[in-house]
């Protein structure tokens, strides 16, 4: 900083004010400081800034190791909202949903002085370490699971399943089969519940739920099963990726979509509109979830005594070409 001050012909305090965005710096002086910064290749020392302000202006996020679109889209929303609010983001990826792995990830972020943490994964199990961390560090979870101290921003998964199932029933299908995700994910329970309730309320037969692992391959394997059941005319699949696999299997078995079997997914990832046929799906606003999680987290940081709150976002049905009345 002293070198920048000498080259610009100003005091070190003026350099500090300029780099921190202080409004009481003349435009001519600001331009000289920034020119000196560029010439010297100077970078602001975040550690020094943290020591002087007492704040790191950094948010942490814990994400599950996956190639699926939904998790990366939430992270993009987090990064955009954090940047707009003047925060940076430090991310830790875990390959297991084990509570010890999540606790370790949160501890690593705590050691890097993050001001708050977003858990973009399900808390399948909560141990004392996680409970203690969420009591001392403002924390937001994006899948509906929580500790008593955790804020939540989540999509109504029961409504997502009801939208899909009721759409298929309204087209005239007698019942709807379901390919779910892994039972360990909280959102799976909500979707299965909504699907079952929608069928029971209309007095329809509830078939056994099939289970996938979110991958197109697992959707394909389940598609080979439902495609061989003569009475199946409609399938609600718990993710778009698995729905792509189901449709591929149905095509290989000589089943037409939607003429023979209608298919609905969940997520509305970008590829859903461009598969063949284009996929009817229930949209989840992933980037908005990330953005709202940041807004909720910053509010908790600024008001640490606020009670934990849950914000539920409604999904929406996107009707495309993969559903129709039964033949």
Where in the chain are the domains? 2-44, 54-156+286-314, 157-284
Mean pLDDT by runs of 10 across the 327 residues of the chain is 78 72 76 78 51 74 83 89 94 91 94 93 85 92 81 95 98 98 89 98 98 96 98 97 98 98 97 96 95 96 89 96 96
pLDDT at 206: 98
- What CATH superfamily classification does 157-284 receive? Response regulator (3.40.50.2300)
pLDDT at 47: 43
pLDDT at 72: 82
Confidence (pTM): 0.80
Provide the 10 A C-beta neighbour count for residue 26.
10
Q: What CATH number matches the domain at 54-156+286-314, 3.40.50.2300, 3.30.420.40, 3.40.50.740, 3.40.50.150?
A: 3.40.50.2300
Q: Do domains 2-44 and 157-284 have the same CATH topology?
A: no
Asked if residue 259 lies in contact with residue 324, where contact means CB atoms within 8 angstroms, the answer is: yes
pLDDT at 22: 63
pLDDT at 44: 52
Q: Which fold has domain 2-44?
A: 434 Repressor (Amino-terminal Domain) (1.10.260)
Pair type for strands 316-318 and 280-283: antiparallel
């Amino acid at each position: 900083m002293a070198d920048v001050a000498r080259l610009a012909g100003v005091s070190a305090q003026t350099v500090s004010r300029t780099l921190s965005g202080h409004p009481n710096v003349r435009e001519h002086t600001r331009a000289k400081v920034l020119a000196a910064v560029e010439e010297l290749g100077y970078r602001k020392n975040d550690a020094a800034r943290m020591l002087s302000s007492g704040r790191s202006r950094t948010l942490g996020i814990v994400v599950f190791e996956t190639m699926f679109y939904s998790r990366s889209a939430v992270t993009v929303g987090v990064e955009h909202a954090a940047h707009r609010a003047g925060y940076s983001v430090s991310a830790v990826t875990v390959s297991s949903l084990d509570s010890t792995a999540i606790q370790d990830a949160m501890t690593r972020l705590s050691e890097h002085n993050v001001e708050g943490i977003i858990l973009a994964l399900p808390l399948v199990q909560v141990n004392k370490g996680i409970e203690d961390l969420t009591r001392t560090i403002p924390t937001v979870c994006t899948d509906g699971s929580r500790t008593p101290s955790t804020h939540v921003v989540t999509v109504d998964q029961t409504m997502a399943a009801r939208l899909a199932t009721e759409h298929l029933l309204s087209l005239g299908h007698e019942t709807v089969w379901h390919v779910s995700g892994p039972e360990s994910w909280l959102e799976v329970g909500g979707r299965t519940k909504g699907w079952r309730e929608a069928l029971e309320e209309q007095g329809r037969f509830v078939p056994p739920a099939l289970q996938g692992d979110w991958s197109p391959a697992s959707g394909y394997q389940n598609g080979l099963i439902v495609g061989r059941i003569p009475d199946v005319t409609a399938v609600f699949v718990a993710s778009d990726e698995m729905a792509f696999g189901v449709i591929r299997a149905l095509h290989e078995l000589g089943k037409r979509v939607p003429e023979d079997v209608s298919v609905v997914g969940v997520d509305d990832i970008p590829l859903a509109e461009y598969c063949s046929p284009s996929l009817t799906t229930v949209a989840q606003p992933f980037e908005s979830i990330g953005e709202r999680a940041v807004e909720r987290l910053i509010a908790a940081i600024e008001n640490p005594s606020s009670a934990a709150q849950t914000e539920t976002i409604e999904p929406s049905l996107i009707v495309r070409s993969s559903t129709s009345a039964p033949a």
